Amino acid sequence: MGNSTFSGPIERVDEFCWRIPRSYKPTMRVDGLIFASEELMAHIRGDQAPEQVANVATLPGIQQASLAMPDIHWGYGFSIGGVCATDPDQGGVISPGGVGYDINCGVRLIRTRISEEDLAGRLTDLVEELYASIPAGVGRGGPYRFSADELRTLMAEGPRALVDRGLATVEDVEMTEAGGRLEGADPDRVSQRALARGANQCGTLGAGNHFLEVQVVDDIVDEFAAAAMGLQRGQVCVMIHSGSRGLGYQVCDDALRDLRGVPEKYGIELPDRQLACAPVLSPEGQAYVGAMRAAANYAWCNRQLLMWQAREAFARVLGTGWQDLGMELVYDVAHNIAKCEEHLIAGKPRQVWVHRKGATRAFPSGHAEIPEKYRHVGQPVLIPGDMGRASWVLVGQPGSMQRSFGTTCHGAGRRMSRTRAVKHAAGRRIDRELLRRGVVVRAHSRRGLAEEQPDAYKDVDQVVDVVAAAGLSGKVARMRPVGVIKG
Provide the phi-psi class of 156: left if phi over 0, else alpha when psi is between -120 and 50, else beta: alpha
Strand partners, 395: 380, 474
Query: Is the Cβ–Cβ distance between 292 and 255 less than 8 Å?
Result: yes
* Catalytic residue flag (residue 444): no
> CA-CA distance, 80 to 98, in Å (whole number)?
9
Q: How far is CA 460 from the centre of its chain?
A: 14
Q: What are phi and psi of 178, to 5 degrees?
A: 60, 20
> Residue 116 — left, alpha, or beta (φ > 0 → left; ψ -120 to 50 → alpha)?
alpha
Which residues, at least 6 apart from 275, have a Cβ–Cβ distance to it below 8 Å? 55, 56, 58, 59, 77, 78, 95, 97
Q: Which residue type, as a one-letter code, is found at position 321?
A: G
> What is the C-alpha to C-alpha distance for residues 113 and 19, in angstroms, rounded to an integer?
45
Using alpha carbons, list the distances in angstroms from residue 292 to 100, 181, 257, 296, 402: 10, 12, 14, 6, 27
User: Do 365 and 376 form a contact (C-beta atoms < 8 A)?
Assistant: yes
d(CA 262, CA 398): 37
Q: Which residue among 43, 73, 410, 424 is the active-site one?
A: 410
C-alpha 197/C-alpha 208 separation (Å) is 18
Specify burial of residue 191 (Cβ count, 10 A radius: 0-12, 13-18, 19+): middle
Class of residue 137 by CB neighbours under 10 A (exposed 0-12, middle 13-18, buried 19+): middle
Q: How far apart are CA 456 and CA 386, in angstroms?
A: 9
Q: What is the largest CA-CA distance in the chain?
A: 65
Active site residues: 410
